[in-house]
Amino acid sequence: MKKDITFPVVKGVYIAIAHGEQHSEEAALWQVILINENNFALETVTISSRGYGLLEDKEVETSVLRHFFPTVEPQSYQVVELIDPAVFNINNEFWVSYFVGSQLYDKKFIFLPESIIKKNMTYIPILDKEGILHS
């Protein structure tokens, strides 16, 4: 039963949204990136992503995307998906689950509407670039 499963606090695992490859001077791709700043690997990593909210007074919801990574090494990162700036005006949710040994960890990261903006960008050392970091 779900009540019998303990979910310890997630530490050292983050989701970032940052520019990826630049195709032209004005159009860079945006990426969603999972960061593991721990000194241990994350195993059997699953990430579900979706967008939802109001756009022009209408309820909108994106498709749910699911990603699987067997391992995310310590002190590393994994590009999860590309993200279209058209969805920056709605909630963007990333639900991350992984194992460390036999212990399951689980955390939901939600980027609120209008939070993915230039003024919220910060330097992210592990990526060696600026982005929006959610902890």
120 lies in a domain?
A: no
Question: Could you tell me the pTM of the whole model?
Answer: 0.91
**Total domain count, the chain:** 1
75 lies in a domain?
A: yes
Per-residue pLDDT of 73-112, as tens digits, reads: 999 999 999 999 999 999 999 999 999 999 999 999 999 9
134 lies in a domain?
A: no
51 lies in a domain?
A: yes
83 lies in a domain?
A: yes
132 lies in a domain?
A: no
Q: Domain residues for 92?
A: 2-29+38-113
Q: What pLDDT is attached to residue 3?
A: 72
Q: What pLDDT is attached to residue 5?
A: 72
Q: Tell me the pLDDT band of 27, cut-offs 50, 70 and 90.
A: low
128 lies in a domain?
A: no
19 lies in a domain?
A: yes
Mean local confidence (pLDDT), 39-59: 95
**CA gap 80, 94 in Å, rounded:** 10
